[in-house]
Structure 1
């Protein structure tokens, strides 16, 4: 017996055992009318079950253990919440159990009723040392089953991330635009510089930019100055103007600049230098201040892409990757891959979160459609599922895969995974 109690939960819930001519350990005929509902909280394992024992129909709870004596080990004999257990389902019956009132608890032993092939298949899944348990079987599972469960894991991923959105929204006193601005800023850092961008957003709230939306130089001065890049002496006209503007704005808004040293340049393509990203960030603020308000007004998913097209990045950056360092042929626009990343990780998330918050299905559906329009993510995790035969055609599927790996595969929760259950049923 090399399986946990959860395996018996699966066996009972899906009746994956020989239930012909069932009898209790006392020899009474037993019929399962309804196995009950799985309870993941405290108390008996299944509730609202209907069982016929002899000529009597019982309604109540079912408790499941590997051995009957586990009832005593778990101290259920002193717990009133187990008094309504109508059947004790065990793999091995090794002890007679009585309720608190002294009545004998009916027992169903499954030891000789579970197919050896099912136990073997479960053990192969659960004990595998591969990247995910069903790596050898998932490719043979009907695609409809896989896609259906990925839809579920995708929603779970959105709901999990929505908690962080709601937490920040609360800090922002319900201001969706400012909350979105904080998350988008972090996204602009693309992991390596995510934290500095987040700190920058906190240093200069969006409402400050709004007061200078008609003055590109002041917006750029606020961004680069607060980021800590205007502390040096400059000979070129553009950075010197930025420095002069920021010295005034810094005093006006009492801005405390970040240390430039927190921005990471090492082992990074020049196109992804934080200075270029900051120039693009300033241009996006210029083009679309209070961006989230514009996003929720857009009706077509395709139009969301246009928000990040043709940003008014200052021409200075066409010949610079950094202040004081000239370059040739610098691309100042955000690349398609980066735009897709922002649409995936921030825009889609906020459409879903806003839809949940306002109980508006339209925005949740638009978040899903947006993911369906974006290419699948290419990373180590999605690559392994692709190699195993899973079709991942868009970001909807790749996001579902990432949550599947995190929520089920990494925790070996094959018995509550729709794909794992299907594989076991094929035993």
Structure 2
């Protein structure tokens, strides 16, 4: 048994309450179990309990054993002085607050229904080779429960991404245009080069970029030069176009004192990338986008459909970068593909719009932004395929994002009791063995 099971039992009051007493024999009446605390401190806050003849309002802390209180050093942490009841699996030690006053304990080990514990153990003890802990039991779960849990996981995933955007927004002095620029730069790395492109955004400040957005050649010189792609080598020694960009970059680098921020070519990743995903290709596409779309944030915020956003991202790269995979290395380069645009909408546009909506208090924009995911095709990978095989709906990117969140945040860490599906199975009157 894990501690999360006791949290679940206490939250839903799934234990025998007949003649409920503390370890010291004092009668207990639970008037309100309290609500889960997501921050530091006791597990449940604002509980109401009657101990003997006295009604208490305070917190409840939960452990497998009473002795865990001292093991976690709660006896010296004033945040736990508000605890009025220590709920444990087994009582093996008396505990006290920082002032030495004792805290009554309630032991639940003998009050748990064996079948409830058995259903829980069947989930958490599922072999690691199982596709999901609940895979053999899913036929007991109504479709509406699976759908609701996937939607909940989707919203949690979008909110977490929006939190990251809001942190970036705060770091950038609450400048939404700069936030859109930095988020878009990082996303154009498509995982393999997200971190280098995020650093390049810092190496070419938006304030500098804004002064030269009207001139595509200067944009190329700034971004490719700061990225380290204009360094002379055997492939570029006779390339007049790269030499011209190098001269322009040298001028701009000195003008804006950008030398210290410049990157080196070895900082970029090429391993196991198709040429169409090479960093210079993506950077060329970014140059075309930044030149053609001078107001990034406004355009991303006001686009009313996936079709409009797709058109936004289809700004052509400069001619040279449509004919070169790397500086000095020619080849026919495809334009930014639909699958890549869909990922940018999923990972940049939706979180950015949700973050802005939360910042200004416009819940309708949150809903319309998340709804964009339902216009995008489903993403297929090794994780989503497992859920689809087990009968989960998987028609749009909204489904994909929900299933990925379900996998990462619930199934892998075995947080079954925090999941509506797992909770439903633990409550089932029978279980498949």
TM-score relative to the length of structure 2: 0.80
Asked if residue 7 in structure 1 is aligned to residue 5 in structure 2, the reply is: yes
Deviates more, 1:28-37 or 1:91-100: 91-100
Partner of 2:144: 144
For the 8 Å contact 1:92–1:110, the answer to whether it is kept is yes
Question: Unpaired segments of 5 or more residues in structure 2?
Answer: none
Deviates more, 1:291-300 or 1:340-349: 291-300
Change (3 A) 1:146 1:103: same
Asked if residue 330 in structure 1 is aligned to residue 333 in structure 2, the reply is: yes
Across the aligned residues of Structure 1 and Structure 2, the Cα RMSD in angstroms comes to 3.8
Question: Unpaired segments of 5 or more residues in structure 1?
Answer: none
SS at match of 1:307: helix
**From 246, 267, 292, the counterpart of 1:243:** 246
SS at match of 1:49: strand
Q: Within 5 A, what are the aligned runs for 1:361-372? A: 361-372=363-374
Partner of 2:217: 217
- Rg larger in structure: 1
Asked if residue 128 in structure 1 is aligned to residue 133 in structure 2, the reply is: no
Query: Structure 1, residues 112-164: CA drift from partner, whole Å, max 9, x if none?
Result: x5433221111121122325432333464223223323333333333333343
Partner of 1:355: 357
Q: Within 5 A, what are the aligned runs for 1:382-393? A: 382-393=384-395
**From 254, 264, 270, the counterpart of 1:259:** 264
TM-score relative to the length of structure 1: 0.81
CA drift at 1:271 = 1.2
For the 8 Å contact 1:154–1:400, the answer to whether it is kept is yes
Deviates more, 1:43-52 or 1:393-402: 43-52
For the 8 Å contact 1:271–1:330, the answer to whether it is kept is yes
SS at match of 2:47: strand
Change (3 A) 1:149 1:252: same
Partner of 1:304: 309
SS at match of 2:249: helix
Q: Within 5 A, what are the aligned runs for 1:13-412? A: 13-17=11-15, 22=19, 24=21, 34-39=32-37, 42-43=41-42, 45=44, 47-49=46-48, 58=55, 60=57, 85=84, 111=110, 114-130=112-128, 132-138=132-138, 140-232=140-232, 233-256=236-259, 257-309=262-314, 311-327=315-331, 329-331=332-334, 333-412=335-414
* Counterpart Cα distance in 1 of 2:237 and 2:87: 79
* Counterpart Cα distance in 1 of 2:9 and 2:297: 48
* Counterpart Cα distance in 2 of 1:279 and 1:70: 57
* Counterpart Cα distance in 1 of 2:362 and 2:162: 15
Deviates more, 1:88-97 or 1:354-363: 88-97
CA drift at 1:34 = 4.7
* Counterpart Cα distance in 2 of 1:206 and 1:9: 48
* Counterpart Cα distance in 1 of 2:54 and 2:293: 67
Query: Structure 1, residues 204-240: CA drift from partner, whole Å, max 9, x if none?
Result: 1223232223322222222222222222254344333
Change (3 A) 1:237 1:425: same
* Counterpart Cα distance in 1 of 2:231 and 2:412: 47
